Amino acid sequence: MEKSLNEYIEKMVGVVDCINRIDPEYFTKYSVKKGLRNSDGSGVLVGLTEIGEVHGYFISEGERKEDEGHLVYRGIDVYEMVRGFQKEKRFGFEEVCYLLLFAKLPNRDELSEFTELLGGLRALPVGFTEDMILKAPSCDIMNKLARSVLASYSYDDEPDGIDPKNLLRQSIELIARFPTMAAYGFQAKSHYYGGQSLYIHSPLPQLSTAENILHMIRPDNKYTQTEAEILDLALVLHAEHGGGNNSTFAARVVSSTETDTYSAIAAAVGSLKGPKHGGANIKAMNMLSDIKEHVKDWTDDDEVRNYLIKIINKEAFDKAGLIYGMGHAVYTLSDPRTILLKEKAHQLAIEKGREKEFLLYDAVERIAPDVFAQAKGTTKNICANVDLYSGFVYDALGIPTELFTPLFAVARIVGWCAHRIEEVVSMQKIIRPAYKSISRPKKYIPMEER
């Protein structure tokens, strides 16, 4: 049967490929905005939100004007918030969780109460690890994470309730458990697919989210304060990015049907897995590895430039013509996440003896915009996005590549949940956009006449 199926697919794949290609001229003819993008690259306005804002431009006299990038959580600039965490020398992710869920900064007692609550909920339900993770390991942790989310439905006494009280309970439980699900999914994958020793470390209630992640994925449980602080920063910067990013929009679309929380969040996880979304930092790191292999002198800007030209001309790396980690749909002059993460990445590089490698990343950031402008014949500004340095940071922390995107999910689950609650409570209308049919009318032909 398998051979027959393969033969049939070989015979029919050309037909399927042909009939599913829509002539680009139709998009212009019917003013269809492919990818929900306007002609200037900005996103089509499809909703309203009070949760997050991604600012990279403003409209003046009907024209889009570029501006320095800002990321805003519930009206508060993330740059200012991170500087506050750093000045006070404390972890910030739990505070960001509170802010995104409740639209206010917690005082000391409120933060302590919330952090203690998360700590007490990190352990998975009885039997969950053995039955839902270890007995059905996956070679991809994102798929295991999505399955774990769906499986959580069976462990919930009120899985389908969509009143605010139930949504909040489910959200807090998922936020607390995502690090554990990701860590255990990684351990199962490493053991069953990589032949590594299996070790399951229980999360510790007194540790922060970042500390617990390092504690659970490392065989010896050990980590430095600097390592935990940098991972915490990465979580803060990835927690939310407006309603228009693909995975959050997916969560809102599915939530608009009034389905259960687990179905909506699993859909978001599936979206984030894609290399054009959450997997982009892996692409960026792989590209830099390729550059390191083919550029002899990492300090020679001309040599770096020449290789970037080959990449953008589809002559090197994956021959897609993309310089990964550069450019963004909204940010043009600067990505505030990049500024903050790059600063810490440099400190980490010095601590780990990888400053030379970090400077190569910096060279790509400096040189790529000019290479892009010359190759495309454009004056459009592009800046480094957070993916350029996040892969480097995770790698310097000794975090395996297959955990990069799951860690993104561990952070973004907060934004997903906040947007789901807002969608269900405020919108109360199913998201149902229109598609224009361009198929030509055909007559039915009886079997004997075909």
Q: 114: how many CB neighbours lie within 10 A of its CB? A: 18
**Residue 387 known to be catalytic:** yes
Query: Rounded to an integer, what is the distance from CA 207 to the centroid of its chain?
Result: 24
Identity of the residue numbered 346: H
- CB burial of 355-389 (b: ≥16 within 10 Å; e: otherwise) equals eebbebbbbbbebbbebbeeeeeeeeebbbbbbbb
Quote the CA–CA distance of 341 and 385 in Å, as a whole number. 10
Q: Could you give the 3-state DSSP secondary structure of residue 150?
A: helix
**Residue 395 known to be catalytic:** no
Tokens 């390191």 label which residue? Answer: 292
Quote the CA–CA distance of 233 and 337 in Å, as a whole number. 9
The CA-based dihedral angle spanning residues 72, 74, 78, 81, taken in that order and rounded to the nearest 10 degrees: 150
Q: How many Cα atoms are found within 13 Å in the side-chain-facing hemisphere of 18?
A: 5
Quote the CA–CA distance of 290 and 322 in Å, as a whole number. 13
Q: Could you give the 3-state DSSP secondary structure of residue 66?
A: strand
**Six-digit token pair at 402?**
């297959």
Angle value at C-alpha 74, between 58 and 339, nearest 5 degrees: 65
Nearest to 118 by CA among 52, 237, 204: 204
**Six-digit token pair at 65?**
């004007």
> Do strands 76-77 and 52-60 pair parallel, antiparallel, or not at all (unpaired)?
unpaired
Instruction: Say which of 215, 238, 328, 419 is annotated catalytic.
Output: 328
Instruction: Find out whether 49 and 422 touch, Cβ atoms under 8 Å.
Output: yes
Instruction: Say which of 232, 260, 387, 395 is annotated catalytic.
Output: 387
N-term to C-term CA, the chain: 28
Tokens 């024209």 label which residue? Answer: 63
Instruction: Find out whether 199 and 191 touch, Cβ atoms under 8 Å.
Output: no
Provide the annotated active-site residues.
328, 387
